[in-house]
Amino acid sequence: MERPAWAPPGIDISVPSVSRMYDFYLGGSHNFEIDRQAARRAMEFMPGLPKVMQANRAFMRRSVRYAAGQGVTQFLDVGSGIPTHGNVHEVALAADPGSRVLYVDHDPVAVNHSRAVLGEETRAGVIAADLRRPRQILENAELARLLDLAQPVALLLYCVLHFVEDADDPYGAVAELGAALAPGSLLVINHTSYGGMPVPEEQAAGAVQVYRDIRNPLSMRSREQIARFFEGYEMVEPGLVSPPDWRPDASAEQDDPYAFTGFAGVGRKA
């Protein structure tokens, strides 16, 4: 298998990666054939997976613009993945040129590609760290350079918590990160779920099994379980809803039914 020039040394390109599969769903070019094969297997059960990802990206853009509109211009994007057009720093800087963005991911391809995309941009940075180890993030020098934790921060957890199993205590990790943030900070989450899926749970379970087979199991939490991440936060209207229903730019009624898979919400720290 030929190694592309952009693939960092030491990456095993015979093993699928969830961030590269996500890149494939969104029409990106930073994925390998092994990633495309796994993604296509999942799409045999849920053909609308690209639409799910597009709806999540649209929620990302709206929630970042919302944060900036509320005067929150510092963004900590954990589990940020491989940048595609219209990424957090682009949306944030367009909304407020004084914004600061720190991307965090544990996938070396995502980290390396993020560095290449950012280039000389000093208002954004990227670090290799794991959501399951909050101190690794909070004690990083690049975080100290970019973000002032004494001022409000938007903690962005897009499509990452469903890859953290209960055994790894995602609730504890989110609580520890949130505890380090100033009052007025925002917690932004979207999370997959059987809730809202336009196919029977038994069929969707086939796609879930694909992720289990590549050793990246999906935790399909209920709306109530996802709401637990927001304990201690005041929910921003309209609360925890399907991604297209969170402050839509236009009526979501015409949207693809797959777009309504899972839940999204924003909470404000008192």
Looking at residue 83, its pLDDT comes to 80
The Cα–Cα gap between 240 and 215 comes to 29
**4-8, 11-15, 177-181: range with highest mean pLDDT:** 177-181
108 pLDDT more than 90? no
Average pLDDT (128-150) is 97
Give the 3-state secondary structure of 58-123: HHHHHHHHHHHHCCCCEEEEECCCCCCCCCHHHHHHHHCCCCEEEEEECCHHHHHHHHHHHCCCCC
Tokens representing 138? 């909070």
Question: What are the tens digits of pLDDT across the range 194-232?
Answer: 999 999 999 999 999 999 999 999 999 999 999 999 999
Mean pLDDT of the chain: 93
Listed by start position, the domains of the chain span 18-269
Q: Domain spanning 18-269 has what CATH number?
A: 3.40.50.150
Question: What are the tens digits of pLDDT across the range 60-106?
Answer: 999 999 999 999 999 999 999 988 778 999 999 999 999 999 999 99
The DSSP bridge pattern shows strands 186-191 and 263-269 to be antiparallel
H-helix or E-strand containing 203? Answer: helix 201-213
Length of the chain: 270
180 pLDDT more than 80? yes
Looking at residue 117, its pLDDT comes to 85
Q: Around Cβ 131, how many Cβ atoms within 10 Å?
A: 22
The DSSP bridge pattern shows strands 154-158 and 124-128 to be unpaired
Looking at residue 253, its pLDDT comes to 59
Phi, psi (degrees; rounded to nearest 5) at 263: -140, 150
Tokens representing 206? 């086939």
41 pLDDT more than 60? yes
Looking at residue 10, its pLDDT comes to 65
| AA letter at 31 | N
The DSSP bridge pattern shows strands 124-128 and 186-191 to be unpaired
